[in-house]
Amino acid sequence: MFYIGCHLSASKGFTHMAKEAVSIGANTFQFFTRNPRGFAAKEIDAEDVKTFLQYAQENNFGKILAHAPYTLNPSSADEKVRELALRIMHDDMQRMECVPGNLYNFHPGSHVGQGADKGIELTANLLNTILTPQQTTTVLLETMSGKGSEIGRNFEELKEIMDRTELSEKVGVCLDTCHVYDAGYDIVNDFDGVLDEFDRIIGLEKLCAIHMNDSKNPYESHKDRHEKIGEGYIGLETMRKIINNPRVKNLPFLLETPNELDGYASEIKLLKDSRE
């Protein structure tokens, strides 16, 4: 099964997102758990959730991916900023259990001058506070481009966070193609080599989702500017190789490209036509 989808607006609820996904040829989707500015979250409607779960099953949906507000910084030097991340993500953990067994992705944070080791420690502390043995949600660390003082700019840092997390079986990784390329992993010339390295350092079984984005900037630029599929430095040929690679082809692929719905529909069609 090819699980392909894109980022959608959550403002009208789960059923609306699922129907929107189907209307553009998708069978999974990503959404923000709340507004990245102001952090307002939509009230969860039990009726909506029930309809969604049924609809997703009927339409053979893959796992869906919730994305934490990217404005949170769990590894900030400021205790207030860290507490906000903790409070929001703790609340998100409870909310995610209304759609059991899905994925929740977040940016590991920026150490803002404290050093990567300190940032890694603070992010692991946050995970050790919010994760519970009962939860069915897998929390994903996103691979980052290394702009500013971002942590998660290489596989070693992600592994370090997981090693310091007690309930590490609840944690996985979401690989963002734009971010890893900008970070200096050459997915264009050697995607399999990058997967080998991921496997050696983290373990491929920890890879749970892929963000499919082309990059507006060249290799190792540490910029993080997403481009439409085939229109950036990564290119369509590499995207084809990725979606057909037997080691990752069954994962959910989520587009976060600069598009409206019709643009997403054509990229999804393009990628579906590129499946071997």
Query: Which pair of tokens denotes residue 270?
Result: 């393009």
In the set 91, 97, 231, 256, the catalytic residue is: 256
| Burial (CB count <10 Å: 0-12, 13-18, 19+), residue 38 | exposed
Q: How far is the CB of 178 from Zn ion (least distance, A)?
A: 6
Site map (CB under 5 A) of Zn ion, residues 236-255, x = contact: --------------------
Residue 182 binds Zn ion (CB under 5 A): no
Look at the block and give the residue holding tokens 């409206």. Answer: 260
Candidates 23-31, 51-59, 117-125, 142-150 — which segment interacts with Fe ion by CB under 5 A?
142-150
Q: Please give the residue whose beta carbon sits closest to Zn ion in the complex.
A: 224
Structure tokens given for 65? 């991916």
Cα gap 211→143, rounded to integer Å:
10
Does 142 participate in binding Zn ion (rule CB under 5 A)?
no
User: Pick from 150, 176, 214, 267: which binds Fe ion (CB under 5 A)?
Assistant: 176
What are the residue ranges of helices labelled H in 24-147?
46-58, 79-96, 116-130
Is 214 near Fe ion (CB under 5 A)?
no
214 binds Zn ion (CB under 5 A): no
Cα 138–Cα 174–Cα 69 angle in degrees, nearest 5 = 80
Select the binding partner of residue 224 from Fe ion, Zn ion, none (C-beta < 5 to 8 A, by kind). Answer: Zn ion
Instruction: Among 34, 159, 206, 211, indicate the residue that binds Fe ion (CB under 5 A).
Output: 211
Question: Cα 69 to the chain's mean position, in Å?
Answer: 11
**Given the residues 92, 176, 214, 267, the one annotated as active site:** 176
| Under rule CB under 5 A, residue 224 binds Zn ion | yes
Q: Does 226 bind Fe ion (CB under 5 A)?
A: no
Q: Tell me, yes or no, if 226 is annotated catalytic.
A: yes
Tokens of 175: 């690989």
Look at residues 42, 150, 57 and name the one whose alpha carbon lies nearest to residue 100. 57
Catalytic residue among 157, 224, 227, 267: 224
Q: Which residues pair with 260 in a beta bridge?
A: none
**Cα 54 from chain centroid?**
24
Residues that bind Fe ion (CB under 5 A): 142, 176, 211
Catalytic residues: 37, 67, 70, 107, 142, 176, 179, 211, 224, 226, 256
Residues that bind Zn ion (CB under 5 A): 224
